[in-house]
Amino acid sequence: MTEDQSEGASGALFLGVDVGSGSARAGIFDAAGRMLASAKRDITLWREGAEIAEQSSDDIWSAVCASVREAVGKAGIDPARVAGIGFDATCSLVVLGEGGAPVSVSASGDDARNIIVWMDHRAVRQAERINAMGHPVLRYVGGVISPEMETPKILWLKENMPQSYGRAWQFMDLADFLTWRASGDLARSTCTVTCKWTYLAHESRWDPDYFRRIGLAELADEDFARIGQQVVAPGTPLGQGMTVEAAAELGLRPGTPVAAGLIDAHAGGIGTVGVEGRPQDNLAYVFGTSSCTMTSTDEPVFVPGVWGPYYQAMVPGLWLNEGGQSATGAAIDQLLSFHPAVAEAREAADKAGQPLPVWLAEQASAATPSLSAAIDLAEGLHVVPEFLGNRAPFADPHARAMIAGLGMERDVDNLVALYIAGIGGIGYGLRQIIETQEQAGARVRRIVISGGAGELDIVRQLLADAVNMPVMTVTAEQPVLLGSAILGALAAGHFPDMPQAMRAMSHMSREYRPDQAGARQAHEDRYRAFRCLQEAGRRIRQKDWSGVPRPSA
């Protein structure tokens, strides 16, 4: 047995917990970043039309407890070996009443439904009113606040469900709810409140004028007791560690260090950007139901339409710009659902025991001489996959998808072509974000990818070709879970700082380089088509007919 294997067999272990849009996952890692075991539990998501998405904090906590217990059992370890635990979660708003009881955010009135999920767009009007005020704090969210952020959602709750608003004891980001439930400590993470709540981390303060002007004066008048009076860096140990009650529920040791958490995409950043060169050179791209881009810089860089700059929201001492696409994996699912051959393809995928996108990717790979050549399958088909708006670089929640080049084809081959066109469209949206950031002074050299929708070789190669930039992967099977486990290692004091923890626990696996010869011109032409369609969609919505001949009388 090698020294490293001995450490994994008997040394300290770290637990990462990730709560995504549809499930809670737990993973056990050693100090070298190797995952011993993981487990997953689905969580309930209530959708009331396209704009409303709700969850239950009790349901999520139960799923967390079950996944942690199963992961520890599968690893076959003494729970006392878990030296630290870290949590990450979607940036969803949790509303709690006195004693931590859930308070309804739902038209159903059901108190169990006490979470407004990140993807919920009920607060579009509130966000638009806030943006019209042009308050200085908006400089640190890309100039435009999103309805996916928390203050518009809280304002919506006050205006539409005043009883729930009045009953609220705490408004919390989901990651902060999890660390509170585990430790009893109400401290918030700089990641959550800086990225989604307008906390000014570089000045260590909330801006009371902002809350008074937008209509939430009472939060400021209460000295921010309901949204967080203590804000700490991710990885900071909270309270006295895990409470006796939480330890019993999770099957762990009371007093186990609990780390201040991260938004899920940022945990993916921590699990990836330390693999090659400086974190400042690497763009973390978390490709799941939606996608997030995380770019670290030494100094603040202001990029219109890109969230941030946020100080110490991910890597200590660095500023962060956060972009992304509101629907990526979900956009592909939506795109495929329209096609006449989808039922036939889904039946074939089910027989093969594969999700439909995986099956389609395999069909595309088999039909072309190389991964880069797959883009030729989509000739004449173009997709701007903005089904849920444009998160960056335009911060336009009203943007919608555009599809061009559809004919009368009804076969599976055409569905494969549409799938490839959709992946290409996601790549061009990513390129647009990267180019916009570079023009403002935030340049990256490579993309480090994580997330379930980005696990396929053909997707990674198409993204590298579409962006014209290397795409790298890490050895960690689940980089987001690894990022949370790194937080647990920090809280346990196993590493002196975040950069050393990242270098020790995250490792490069493979690099996908852009095909400069065969695919370059095709992607240049398709990127121009993407931007043309995107602009046409904007002009149609705005009824901008300049340059368009009037109909003859």
Mean pLDDT within 498-507: 93
Residue 8 clears pLDDT 50, i.e. is over it: no
pLDDT at position 6: 38
Are 243 and 353 in a shared domain? no
Residue 56, both tokens: 């239950």
Same domain, 111 and 139: yes
Q: CATH number for the domain including 474?
A: 3.30.420.40
Q: Are residues 391 and 523 in the same domain?
A: yes
Nearest to 490 by CA among 251, 270, 266, 202: 270
- In a domain, residue 287? The reply is yes
Cis ω for the linkage preceding 162 (within 30 of 0): no
Q: Is residue 127 domain-shared with residue 38, that is, in the same domain?
A: yes
Q: Has residue 553 got a pLDDT over 80?
A: no
430: helix, strand or coil? helix
Query: In the structure, what pLDDT confidence band is assigned to residue 326 with cuts at 50, 70 and 90?
Result: confident
Q: Write out pLDDT tens, residues 262-291.
A: 999 899 999 999 887 789 999 999 898 889
Q: How far out from the chain centre does Cα 487 lie?
A: 17
Shared domain for 295 and 396, answered yes or no, is: no
- The dihedral built from the CA positions of residue 295, 195, 235 and 480, taken in this order, carries a sign that is negative
Return the H-helix or E-strand segment holding 82.
strand 82-89
Residues 388 and 333 in one domain: yes
Residues 413 and 446 placed together within one structural domain of the fold: no
pLDDT given at position 2: 37
Judge whether 551 lies within some domain. Answer: no
- Mean local confidence (pLDDT), 391-398: 89
Residue 32 · residue 49 · CB < 8 Å = no
Region of 90 on the Ramachandran plot (φ > 0 left; ψ -120 to 50 alpha; else beta): beta
Q: State the pLDDT at residue 248.
A: 98
Percent of the chain with pLDDT over 90: 88
Query: Is 80 exceeded by the pLDDT of residue 395?
Result: yes
pLDDT tens, position by position, 145-195:
989 999 999 999 999 999 999 999 999 999 999 999 999 999 999 999 999
Domain carrying residue 494: 273-326+433-512
Residue 20 covered by a domain: yes
Same structural domain, 413 and 277: no
Please give the sequence-ordered ranges of beta strands (E in DSSP) within 43-81, or none if there are none: 46-48, 52-55
Tell whether 194 and 98 lie within a shared domain. Answer: yes
pLDDT confidence of residue 547: 87
Count structural domains, the chain.
Answer: 3
pLDDT at 5 over 60: no
Q: What is the mean pLDDT of residues 69-87?
A: 97
Tell me, yes or no, whether 446 and 389 share the same domain. no
Both tokens of 70, joined, read 């199963």
The string of DSSP codes covering 242-299 is S-HHHHHHHTS-TT--BB--EEHHHHHHHTTTTSSS-GGGEEEEEESSSEEEEEEESS
Mean pLDDT of 363-372: 96
Does residue 526 sit in the same domain as residue 507? Answer: no
The reply to whether 318 falls in a domain is: yes
The pLDDT tens digits of the residues spanning 419-433 come to: 999 999 999 999 999
- Are 178 and 292 in a shared domain? no
Residue 496: pLDDT band by 50, 70, 90 thresholds? very high
Instruction: State the chain's mean pLDDT as an integer.
Output: 94
User: What average pLDDT score do residues 209-218 get?
Assistant: 98
User: What band does 47 get if pLDDT is binned at 50, 70 and 90?
Assistant: very high
Q: Is residue 553 part of a domain?
A: no
The CATH number covering residue 522 comes to 1.20.58.2240
Boundary residue ending a domain (214, 239, 263): 263
In a domain, 268, yes or no: no
Percent of the chain at pLDDT above 70?
A: 98
Q: What pLDDT score does 56 carry?
A: 98
pTM of structure: 0.85
In a domain, 187, yes or no: yes
Confidence category of residue 3, pLDDT binned at 50, 70, 90: very low
Which tens digits make up the pLDDT trace of 215-227?
Answer: 999 999 999 999 9
Whether residue 39 lies inside any domain: the answer is yes
